[in-house]
Amino acid sequence: MVTGGDFPWLNARVNPREGLAEVRPLFAEELRLLDGIDEDAESWERAYEAVRNAVTLRYPEGQEVPEFLLHIDGNEAWWRWSDEPFDEEDA
């Protein structure tokens, strides 16, 4: 459930559903590496790629969001999205 936001980020409370327990370790590793992204961006990118390969973000109408950056920590989530795929050169 969305609880707020600070554009371009949205914040939400996580209501655990089937499958979340299996991907929580991916989010934990991604956040751990995010803290050191200035020293090792490649490790964070690999960790986030694992998250993206494991989850899908959908619009309320059910279609897949083309690009998103999603973090989950405990029962809190925050994310931003784009209606267009990210340009690799801009990343």
How far is it, in rounded angstroms, from Cα 52 to Cα 34?
15
Q: What is the pTM of this model?
A: 0.86
What's the confidence (pLDDT) of residue 47? 98
CB 67 within 8 A of CB 82: yes
DSSP 87: P
Q: Which residues of the chain have pLDDT under 50?
A: 90-91
Phi/psi for 82 (5° steps) reads -135, 140
What is the predicted pLDDT for the residue at 88?
Answer: 61
From start to end of 1-91, where are the E strands?
2-6, 9-13, 67-73, 76-82
pLDDT given at position 89: 56
